[in-house]
Chain A
Amino acid sequence: MSKAIIEHAAASETFNKDESYVDWHDETLWFVRQKRDKSSKLLPEWEQLREAASTIKNYVLSHMDTLLVSFEQKAKENGIHIHWAADAAEHNEIVLGLLKQHNIGKMVKSKSMLTEECHMNEFLSKNGIEVIDTDLGERIVQLRNEPPSHIVLPAIHLKKKDIGDLFHEHLGTEAGATDPQYLTEAARQHLRDKFLTRRAALTGVNFAIAETGGFVVATNEGNADMGAHLADIHIASMGFEKIIPKQEHLGVFLRLLARSATGQPVTTYSSHFKKPREGQEMHIIIVDNGRTTQLGRPDFRNSLKCIRCGACMNTCPVYRRSGGHSYHNAVAGPIGSILAPNLDMTKNADLPFASTLCGSCSNVCPVKIDIHDQLYKWRQVLVKGGHVPQSKELGIKAMSVILSQPRFYQWSGRLGRSVMRTIPFMVNNGLNPWFKQRDMPEPPKESFRDWYVRNRKA
């Protein structure tokens, strides 16, 4: 986005202004997390599935070159055109070139976080191409002129009243209407017309299979299939890490993906594309855009195992209370915070700090990415590289002075407790970030250490 970036903490503060709204956002996502729990617990082999998925993905990272070459060869044999894009700009140019070549000015698109990462819609629109997002949530945020706030639930930050107002303005629904059934029906009619009149469709790729040259696209709405099967040209964009070795591995991944995402046993549609239909052209764009660099960082490479289920977002206490937009990155939440610094350390230096390091993200991750460890490690890299603001660095230095000198630490604690008791307004004020949205705790009479020293003597 060309807009100036507002740091995560500042954006969260805005998000937290309306307490009942934040509570609602928090509870809605927690509800999704609970559905994931319920669904995963129905499978006694759940942990073994995670282990299998993780091991397959590790294999993928260590055989990436041969898998991609094999995929390319098979796909070509199947009549699919393969393109390689080193960065976002090249990806966008390839899409534009294909559309121009076919004289196409309008395209439908199903969900693809990669095209968000590449800011493709903006680029195409500047070049006179109209792109219609067809996933309902994505269409909603597109009409609002904002990015998705969640990779699986793009409009999770909106209330139905917001959507009712939006549809009234853009789709001519009745003023004040908020019934989800009615609003969805309006979107169905609106988008059906687009599906029937667009000659090009772009989809993402959930899994690309090296063994067969095919790829799988999963949706609940059926929008990827509606677009692709009616269009003359189907373009599928994938980050190269989407590759898996064999078709049978889909058994592992498809059992994990939807259960982790929304608690469903599988998405409504798991569409397996292998060859273009007769008379159709099919293109796959394999994109790097920083992924090779990430692959070369031993501490961070296994972020490339991600299958984009969103479970880490739904469980994250920070994401739930700050909203996806506060992460100013195509992929928000814990996984976004370990992917984003790779793309731009200066712009995204705040993100690894947007975490309590509670580890819940790593516990729910279906491919066992050590997300919270990576958040912690990114902090060190970013501070060492001079990417964090001086105030934060000074704070860290001050903490390190206090924590490395036991006597000074004890004295500071005593001082702090006495200040809180005798002059509480020194801490109970707006300048103290710990005082925001909460009351300061009653200061204890003595520290644990004092208590321990006293009682051990007795």
Chain B
Amino acid sequence: MNSRDKILQQIKLNMPSETVLPEKIRFDSHFESTENKFVETLSAIYTEVIVVKDLNALKEKAEELYASVTNRATTIPFLNSWADFSLNIADPHDLEMIEIAILEAEFGVAENGAVWISERHLPHRALPFITQNLAFVIPRNAIVNNMHDAYERLSDTTGWGCFIAGPSKTADIEQSLVIGAHGARSMVIFLIEDYPGIL
């Protein structure tokens, strides 16, 4: 008998008697303002949230924030003239040079500051990790309260997606928090008001 069948057979023999799933697996969070909670949570994890009116305002802000930076990449066509690094490459290793990536993402979670991004919005899975600095753009009204709401909203059918909450960090040296472990060294989230569907 192969290991698969052996393991499954042994499991069957040794399993406890059947129990049922819990009825209550989701809880509501009550925040005075979902957006304020989102901003507050993110500020505690070193992430600035910037509200912009529309794509023009986003571009203006991007130009202002990253004026002196070269190797700028984006997945938002409207920002193509801002970017100087094309994502039209075959090998993700070539993304290594990117200093700042402004990426469209789907929605945010107020209780923990996480933003959902998936292959639906990404040409390369490595992009949000390999870039030195990261910015997400999500519609201003796309913030849910907690993770239960997040999974309810999640309709992703792509092959990969990730909740990302702030820049990468570690506290492995004497519990001292250091921002910028392997992933992004900094994170900005743009909340855009006038959202034209796919950006």
- Using a CB–CB cutoff of 8 Å, the interface residues on chain A facing chain B are 28, 31-32, 45, 48-49, 51-52, 55-56, 58-59, 61-65, 68-69, 78, 84-86, 90, 134-137, 140, 153-156, 158-160, 163, 180-181, 183-185, 188, 191-192, 195-196, 220-223, 225-226, 228-230, 240, 245, 247-252, 254-255, 262, 264-277, 286, 288, 292-293, 295-296, 298, 301
A104 → B minimal CB distance (Å): 16
Q: Is B49 an interface residue (CB 8 A)?
A: no
With A192-B182, A248-B26 known to touch, is A270 a contact of B170 (CB < 8 Å)?
A: no
Q: Could you mark each residue 81-121 of chain B with 1 if its beta carbon is under 8 Å from any beta carbon of chain A, else 0?
A: 00000000000110010000000000001011110001000
13 pairs of residues in contact across A and B, judged by CB atoms under 8 Å:
A63-B15, A184-B173, A220-B168, A223-B182, A228-B125, A229-B126, A248-B148, A265-B113, A269-B129, A270-B114, A271-B162, A298-B16, A301-B16
Stretch of B2-10, B54-62, B69-77 lying at the A interface: B2-10
A86 to chain B: which residues have CB within 8 Å? 3, 6-7
B37-72 CB contacts (< 8 Å) to partner A: 41, 45
A240 to B6, CA, bound (A): 13
* Contact pick for A288, options B10, B19, B152, B176, CB 8 Å: B10
Interface-located stretch among B135-143, B153-161, B189-197: B153-161
Given contacts A248-B152, A277-B160, contact A61 B16 (CB under 8 A): yes
- Give chain A residues whose Cβ lies under 8 Å from the Cβ of B174: 28, 158-160, 163, 180
Contact of B169 among A220, A254, A275 (CB under 8 A): A220
Q: Which of A65, A155, A249, A272 contacts B160 (CB 8 A)?
A: A272
Check B169–A221 contact: CB distance below 8 A: yes
CA distance A230 to B11 in the complex (A): 36
Secondary structure at the A interface, as helix, strand, loop or mixed, is helix
CA distance A298 to B25 in the complex (A): 26
B180-A248 in contact (CB<8A): no
Contacts A56-B22, A251-B26 given; does A196 touch B7 at CB 8 Å? no
B147 at interface by CB-CB < 8 Å: yes
On whether A250 and B16 interact (CB within 8 A), knowing A31-B175, A229-B129, A274-B158, the answer reads no
- The answer on a CB contact under 8 Å between B172 and A222 is no
Residues of chain B within 8 A of A61, CB atoms compared? 15-16, 19
Q: Select one of A32, A195, A251, A295 contacting B25, CB under 8 A.
A: A251
B30 nearest CB neighbor, chain A only? A44
**Can you name the residue of chain B whose Cβ is closest to the Cβ of A250?**
B151
What bracket does the count of chain B residues touching chain A fall in? 35 or more
Given A86-B7, A221-B183, A245-B21, CB of A268 within 8 Å of CB of B175: no
Q: Is the pair A272, B162 in contact by a Cβ cutoff of 8 Å?
A: yes
One of A135, A265, A274 near B159 (C-beta < 8 A): A274
A218 to chain B, nearest CB (A): 9
User: Does the CB pair A268–B130 fall under 8 Å?
Assistant: no
Question: Can you add 8 more A-B contacts, CB < 8 Å, to A251-B25, A272-B118?
Answer: A52-B25, A65-B8, A84-B7, A222-B184, A229-B92, A230-B93, A255-B148, A264-B45
Q: Is the CB of B22 within 8 A of A136?
A: no
Inter-chain contact B148/A230, CB cutoff 8 Å? no
Which residue of chain B is the closest to A67 with respect to CB atoms?
A: B11
Distance in angstroms between the alpha carbons of A280 and B112 in the assembled complex: 32
Q: Which residues of A contact B125 (CB under 8 A)?
A: 225, 228-229, 277
B160 surroundings in chain A (CB, below 8 A): 271-275, 277
Least Cβ distance of B14 to chain A in Å? 3
* Chain B residues closer than 8 Å to A153, beta-carbon distance: 171-172, 175
